Amino acid sequence: MANAKVIEAKQEAVNVVTGKLQNSITTVVADYRGLNVSQVTELRKQLREAGIEFQVLKNTLLRRATAAAELTELDEVLTGPTAVAFSANDAVAPAKILNDFAKKNDALKLKGGVVEGKVIGADQIKALAELPSREGLLSMLLSVLQAPVRNFALAVKAVAEKEEQSA
């Protein structure tokens, strides 16, 4: 009877992780071996402030969850100690935070991840981390959209000033 409860609890854990994999915009997998407690605490704090869930998970549990979520390509990086960051809101934030932390702490190694249902490698995670934040991208888009209107307004003003001078 105790075995049935243990199996049921493990299956529930797999279901929870499967749900997180499916509902996350971005999932980043990292090797945290070599980080001390204060470093892990600082990393968790930074991720929590950005609304990102960070967990240390067993590779067997993750493999079962990736199979259920049909993301088995991720299994290649599930070796050694594995920590996973799940973000349901921001596609860039987990990659950016983990990459910046890895630059300051050599012990943290990015392994790979999932972005919008597509499995990507560590190099692609680092490239994603170099992108501007969502707010930065939106401000760039806004400035691009405003430029024609601003130029038109300046042209109208110049014509109006020219008309005034000639009159």
Average pLDDT, the chain: 86
Among the listed residues 105, 119, 10, the one whose alpha carbon sits nearest the alpha carbon of residue 58:
10
d(CA 54, CA 77): 17
Q: In this model, does residue 1 exceed pLDDT 60?
A: no
Which two three-digit tokens encode residue 159?
Answer: 């014509």
In the predicted structure, residue 142 carries a pLDDT above the cut 90: no
Type of residue numbered 2: A
- Cα 116–chain centre separation: 10
132: DSSP letter: P
What's the pLDDT tens digit per position in 91-121?
888 889 999 998 898 888 999 888 888 888 8
- Say what the pTM is: 0.73
Q: Which pLDDT belongs to residue 45?
A: 93
